[in-house]
Every structure is written in C-alpha cells, then in structure tokens.
C-alpha cells in the first residue's frame, strides 16, 4: 500500500471513530448511551469501585434537574451490580478516568426502584439523561487512603484558619482548642449536668460563616417557630463538632464553637455552605432529656462523616 493510500485509510478510520462518538447506542440490556470522550485506559470501573464524577441530570426536555458542577464538589458512589435492565451502572463499567458519556434511563425504573416519586419536571414513561464525567476510579482501599490523606491535609489548613479567626476576634485566652481542632468559648456558664451519648438535648443555635453571614438559626427558622432544636447527641446524628462541643456543655450554658470543616460538612459542604468551610455556632443548652428525639433541628452529617 502506498503512503497515499495508507494516509487515506488512516483518515477513514479516524472519521469512523469520530462518528462513533456522540452516537446513541444500545447495550444488550437496553441501556441507551452516548460516548463523548473515551481514552485508551484499560482500567475501567467495576463493581466495588468508588467512582468520583461530575454528574448532570436532564429530563426529556433537556432541563437540568441537578448539576454537581454547580454544587462545588463531584458526586461519589460505590459502583454496584445494575439493579435493573437499562440501569446506568452498566454504562459506568465502560468508562475510565477522564471519560465522559450520557446515559438514558427509564425514569419510572430509576425512581420506582429507589422508592421515590417522580420529581417535578419528570414525566411518567420518559427517560432521564445522566451525563457523567469520570474524575477518578478507586478501589475501596485506595479511596480510604486518599480520604485519610486529604483529611489530614485539610485539618492543617483548618487549624490555621481557626487560629487566625480566634486572634482576629480577640478570642485568644478566652477559650480552649481541643486536639480535634474544635475551639470553644463559654459565654455564659451553666450549673446543670452535661449530656451523655444518646441523650436528647434542646438547644438554641445560630450558625454563621466566618464572614458573619447567618446560614441557619433556631431563633428565626420558620419551621421551628422560635422553639429550641431537639436532637440526639453523641451518636453521630449531627456534625462531629456539635457532638464534641455540646457534650462538654452544662445545662443552661451558652457557648460559641469555632468548628473546622473536618468536624463540619467537609469537602461536600451543605446547602448554603461551601465545601471545606470553617463555621461558628452560638449555642445555648436549654435542657437535657432521656429518650428518642422528636424534631431533628440540625441537618445530619454527610454520609461517611
């Protein structure tokens, strides 16, 4: 074959490969998909791996239902055996780190299996478009090691932020910093007992970002009607900084907690709270009770934290 013919053959192959991308294809199990980017990396996702990816959910009119790009942190999931035919988990096993694709999944199957009603904007019998960009693929052991390394790195960053905040606001010498990184200042002593793990506490609280912006308060939250939040303490039902700080307080005590992100909402953040945010909470421990909590006044921690 001449160089001319060889060049033409290479061009035809390249064009054919390009045409294969972004073309809707269907697996034997009925999953419809488009591949946008695909590398030659042989390591692809398999059942049991932890996938880190950006994800965009679209209804059948291409309206965005969720976009992790706008949430400030990618989505992480344990890749499981596809729960139904045409599930997007099957498609994820085709992808490597850096690859991107869109999967089209039956909305009825997706939400019925999850025992959830169809969300607003999703029609019965329609498909959900799930556009993904794979950022990383890790075994469970690799994931745990990277999480531990990231935690220690962020803990050091948070420690400096907390120290700077304490110094700037004249709190040095007025409170104590624990080995975990939590800084706590008692603003009104209490003479009552301290709660034990599993106790139900009633607390008034105001949560702020370090710039002073209030993101939540029991005093102004319309769902609470000005009543104290009622929650179970010391059993992982609230962020770790709350468990540690509130369990040191006496009934009737008021305190300010400066909570590093590693004891708050971590790298995923929360509604109105950016990832890796150091937070402050003004807390009043109103009462301590035994038994199960009623209304949970504080949001629960992110999974795995």
Q: Which residues are catalytic?
A: 205, 215-216, 239, 265, 281
CA distance 191 to 154: 36
CA distance 259 to 215: 14
Instruction: Please give the backbone phi and psi of residue 63, each rounded to the nearest 5 degrees, phi first.
Output: -80, 135
CA distance 108 to 117: 9
CA distances from 25 to 34, 97, 109, 198 (A): 6, 21, 19, 53
DSSP assignment letter at 9: H
Sequence-separated (6 or more) residues with CB below 8 Å from residue 108: 118, 124, 125
CA distance 187 to 204: 14
Torsion of CA 39, 275, 170, 173, to 10 degrees: -80
Give me 90's structure tokens.
Answer: 């099957």
Cβ distance 32 to 103 under 8 Å?
yes
CA distances from 286 to 249, 251, 280 (A): 10, 6, 19
């Amino acid at each position: 074959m001449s160089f001319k013919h060889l060049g033409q053959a290479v061009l035809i192959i390249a064009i054919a490969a390009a045409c294969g991308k972004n073309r809707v294809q269907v697996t034997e199990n009925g999953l419809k998909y488009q591949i946008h980017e695909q590398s030659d990396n042989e390591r692809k996702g398999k059942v049991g791996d932890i996938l880190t990816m950006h994800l965009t959910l679209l209804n059948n009119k291409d309206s965005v239902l969720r976009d992790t790009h706008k949430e400030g942190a990618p989505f992480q999931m344990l890749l499981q055996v596809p729960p139904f035919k045409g599930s997007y988990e099957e498609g994820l096993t085709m992808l490597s780190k850096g690859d991107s694709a869109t999967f089209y999944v039956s909305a009825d199957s997706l939400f019925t299996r999850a025992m959830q009603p169809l969300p607003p904007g999703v029609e019965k019998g329609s498909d959900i478009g799930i556009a993904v960009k794979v950022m990383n693929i890790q075994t469970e052991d690799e994931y745990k090691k990277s999480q531990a390394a990231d935690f220690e790195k962020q803990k050091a960053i948070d420690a400096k932020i907390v120290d700077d905040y304490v110094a700037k606001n004249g709190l040095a010498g007025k409170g104590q910093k624990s080995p975990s990184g939590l800084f706590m200042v008692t603003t009104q002593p209490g003479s009552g007992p301290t709660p034990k793990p599993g106790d139900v506490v009633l607390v008034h609280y105001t949560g702020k970002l370090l710039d002073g912006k209030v993101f939540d308060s029991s005093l102004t939250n319309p769902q609470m009607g000005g009543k104290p939040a009622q929650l179970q303490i010391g059993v992982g039902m609230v962020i770790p900084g709350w468990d540690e700080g509130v369990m040191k307080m006496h009934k009737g005590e008021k305190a300010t907690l400066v909570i590093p992100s590693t004891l708050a909402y971590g790298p995923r953040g929360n509604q109105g709270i950016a990832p890796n945010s150091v937070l402050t909470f003004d807390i009043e421990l109103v009462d301590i009770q035994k038994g199960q909590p009623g209304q949970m006044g504080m949001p629960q921690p992110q999974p795995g934290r």
